[in-house]
């Protein structure tokens, strides 16, 4: 049976971190609130890094708008590169087909295995 994930409000998280900052030990607070100490450390770090946007709620990650725009630009650039490379591969394949139809295949004869009739 799978346990459901507990959800904590922003106020609960802030209160838990404040208790730690007031001098109580992380282990003590974690036991009292039935949390893992690592979770309490993570909440504390989030609150220290940016108290205003810490714990946005609903499990949604907060992405700065400029970061989202940067990632969208990168996706666009990579899509263009992929299209370009697909076109290159298609042209190479067409050239190989043309050479094969003209009776001039470009193969590596050196890579062929020797047959038993050539062994002496």
**What does the pLDDT look like over 45-102, one tens digit per residue?**
888 887 777 777 665 556 677 888 899 999 999 999 999 999 999 999 999 999 888 8
pLDDT in the model for residue 85: 96
For the chain, the C-alpha Rg in angstroms (whole number) is 31
Q: Where are the domains of the chain?
A: 10-49, 65-104
Contacts of 112 (CB under 8 A, 6+ apart): none
What count of Cα atoms within 13 Å lies in the side-chain half-sphere of residue 72? 7
**Most confident of the ranges 29-38, 59-68, 103-112:** 29-38
pLDDT in the model for residue 75: 95
pLDDT in the model for residue 63: 64
Kindly state the tokens that stand for 89.
């591969």
Kindly state the tokens that stand for 62.
């907060």
Counting other chains too, the contacts that 115-119 makes at CB distance below 8 Å and 24 or more residues apart are none
Query: What is the four-CA torsion angle of 13, 18, 20, 26, rounded to 10 degrees?
Result: 0
Average pLDDT, the chain: 82
Average pLDDT of span 23-30: 89
């Amino acid at each position: 049976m799978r346990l459901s994930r507990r959800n904590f409000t922003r106020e609960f998280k802030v209160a838990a971190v404040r208790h730690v900052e007031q001098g109580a030990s992380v282990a003590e607070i974690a036991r009292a609130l039935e949390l893992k100490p690592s979770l309490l450390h993570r909440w504390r770090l989030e609150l220290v890094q940016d108290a205003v946007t810490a714990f946005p709620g609903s499990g949604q990650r907060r992405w700065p708008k400029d970061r989202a725009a940067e990632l969208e630009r990168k996706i666009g650039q990579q899509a263009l590169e992929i299209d370009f490379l697909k076109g290159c591969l298609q042209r190479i394949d067409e050239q190989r087909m043309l050479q094969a139809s003209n009776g001039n295949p470009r193969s590596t004869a050196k890579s062929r295995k020797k047959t038993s009739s050539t062994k002496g």
